[in-house]
Amino acid sequence: MPETRVPRPRLFEIERQTIAPIPEGERHGRPRELTAIWFGMNMTPLTVVTGALATTLFGLSLPWALVAVVVGNVVGGIGMALHAAQGPTMGIPQMIQARGQFGLRGSALIVLVALVMFVGFFASNLVVAGDALVAVDNRIDPGGVTWVAAVASLLIALCGYRLVRWVTGVSAYLVGVPLVLCMCVLAVNGSGDIVWDRGGFSTAGFFSMLAVGAVWQLAYAPYVSDYSRYLPADSGGRGAFWGTYLGCVSSTVLLFALGAVLGLAATGDDVMGAFADLLGPLGKVVLVAFAIAAITGNSVNAYCSMLCALTLGENARPGWIPGVRARVVTTIALHAIGVYIALGASADFLANYYNFVSLLLYVLIPWSAINLVDYYLVHHGSYVISDFYRRDGGRYGLWNGRALLVYAVALVAQVPFMVTSLYTGPLAEALGYTDVAWLVGFLVAGAVYLPLARRGSPVARTAQTAVPLPAEAG
């Protein structure tokens, strides 16, 4: 007997689901809606500040900065969108699905890393939202902005999935329209404050910026399927892939490019101040829109960090499915932590933020490679979802020694190629301080995991339901 489909939830209705599989009767939406969501998700001042790294911290000329921005995001976006394509098929948060590779207990490390990442992005958005409004009027107290932004984000996140999706979609128009107008003004009129011929090419700077673009996309990998999991299963993975890819990559490239231009006029790290100085009243309008968009974007980070925290809770108490009360309490607690971090942020925020992103890259890349290889090449999208919630991990067990070993090997393989403020590997130094550790980690993890998983996984040989790849789905 077919499952009865319930009415689509209202915008301000409190979401009832948390980390359990989404019943088919509650699935709704279309893949193209993901484009607006992920386009709006990047409409924050943090995206602009990150793009400015190309011409400030890395010293690239504008043409080389743009090439690095495009290549890094286009390449990294492929892996990110392949994760998004898992959502309609499985109907569960991405971090629950990690149990299919690492086991119930083994996946906890990956979930913890993702949780730290989301909280870090949350705090970062609070900081740059304050910077944006201070650039509009230096009498504004950035600490007060932090509190207001956090409260607004909290109210959105408490309502849950439906409202979070709606406000991020609105951000695409709220910021996108005036932003495109600003870029047209800069292109037509130019500005004497922009040193167009500043910078040059360096191998280290180019590949470091390319890596920033790739990690920006891959940093979304642990939660893109959180937003595609509500799509009907028959919508297929291809729509989720392209909807997420086009929205996320196009908006990131647009704002990274703007950041690279502003970096040519910025004094030190004051990218938001350069924006206001270059564009006057129009720039200030966009900065206010940026600050509002940072709030909506933070509701996404808050929502996904909540799912990760609840996943860790269920990991400690297998079989426990948290309800609305647990979701509300967890969301409030995570907002409090994010505010605490944001209020204590140091003056050299831009450099510290880059170090934070770099470390995330090294840790997330091997997980992403293992997950994608396991899903598309080993299990072909076929998992027994109910086993993810069993006390013993079901057929996936508590620990998957093979996956954890591969993960550790890939992490170690990256060390000689790392470039950070704390440590630079000998091979990275020999390559002129070029950061290719992310590429090494991805290739090693995927290449080592594939033969081990195919040879040692009885689950792959007894798959119950074949699921097509995104390119084959329709």
- The number of angstroms, rounded, from the C-alpha of 203 to the middle of its chain's C-alpha atoms is 26
Give CA–CA dist 58/199, Å, rounded: 9
pLDDT at position 264 over 50: yes
**How open is the CA angle 306-256-185, to the nearest 5 degrees?**
125
Q: Is residue 348 part of a domain?
A: yes
User: What does residue 200 show for φ and ψ, rounded to 5 degrees?
Assistant: -165, -150
Single-letter code of the amino acid located at 311: T
Cα dihedral 426, 431, 435, 439, rounded to 10, equals -100
pTM of the model as a whole: 0.84
The two structure tokens encoding residue 361: 């890259």
What pLDDT score was predicted for residue 74? Answer: 96
DSSP string for residues in 78-145: HHHHHHHTHHHHH-S-HHHHTHHHH-TTTTHHHHHHHHHHHHHHHHHHHHHHHHHHHHH-TTS-HHHH
User: Which H or E run contains 204?
Assistant: helix 203-218
Q: Rounded to an integer, what distance in angstroms lies between the CA atom of residue 295 and that of residue 271? A: 19
- Residue among 173, 321, 312, 303 nearest 229 (CA): 303
Q: What is the largest CA-CA distance in the chain?
A: 70
Q: Does residue 17 sit within a domain? A: no
Contacts with 43 (C-beta within 8 Å, 6 or more apart), sequence order: 171, 172, 174, 175, 176, 179, 251, 255, 289, 290, 293, 297
Total domains in the chain come to 1
Q: Tell me whether residue 462 is in a domain.
A: no
Of 90, 100, 92, 89, which Cα lies nearest the Cα of 457?
A: 100
CATH of the domain at 405: 1.10.4160.10
pLDDT at 139: 84
Could you tell me if residue 23 is inside a domain?
no
Say if CB 335 and CB 302 are below 8 A apart: yes
Residue 105 inside a domain? The answer is yes
- For residues 74 and 114, the model is more confident at 74
User: 3-state DSSP call for residue 423?
Assistant: coil
Q: In terms of Cα–Cα distance, which of 134, 135, 164 is closest to 146?
A: 134
pLDDT digits (tens, 9 = 90+) for 317-357: 887 888 999 999 999 999 999 898 888 876 666 567 667 76
Burial (CB count <10 Å: 0-12, 13-18, 19+), residue 422: exposed
Q: What is the distance between the alpha carbons of residues 390 and 154, in angstroms, rounded to a whole number? A: 32
Q: Quote the mean pLDDT of the chain.
A: 83
Residues 6+ apart with CB under 8 A from 216: 47, 50, 72, 73, 76, 252, 256, 357
Query: Pick the residue with more confidence: 473 or 129?
Result: 129
**Phi, psi dihedral angles at 226 (to 5 degrees):** -60, -30
d(CA 90, CA 385): 7
Which of 374, 367, 452, 364 has the alpha carbon at shortest distance from 407? 367
Question: Where is 360: in which H helix or E strand?
Answer: helix 349-373
Please report whether residue 22 resides in a domain.
no
What is the predicted pLDDT for the residue at 470? 43
Distance CA 394, CA 464 (A): 14
Q: How far apart are the C-alpha atoms of 437 and 293, rounded to whole Å? A: 33
In a domain, 474, yes or no: no
Alpha-carbon distance values, 25 to 11, 30, 90, 233 (Å): 18, 15, 14, 10
Q: What is the mean pLDDT of residues 234-257?
A: 91
Asked if residue 20 is part of any domain, the answer here is: no
pLDDT digits (tens, 9 = 90+) for 81-138: 999 999 998 999 988 999 999 999 999 988 998 888 888 888 888 887 887 788 778 8
pLDDT, tens digit, for every residue of 403-412?
999 999 999 9
**Own/partner pairs, 157-160, CB within 8 angstroms, 24+ separation:** 157/299, 157/302, 157/303, 157/306, 157/331, 157/335, 158/14, 158/328, 158/331, 159/11, 159/12, 159/13, 159/14, 159/15, 160/14, 160/15, 160/303, 160/327
pLDDT in tens, 136-195: 788 888 888 889 889 999 999 999 888 888 888 888 888 888 878 877 777 766 555 666
Alpha-carbon distance of 419 to 402, in angstroms, equals 28
Contact 57, 210 (CB under 8 A): no
Q: Residue 269 sits in which domain range? A: 30-457
Per residue in 415-452, pLDDT (tens digit) is 999 887 778 899 988 888 888 888 899 999 999 999 99
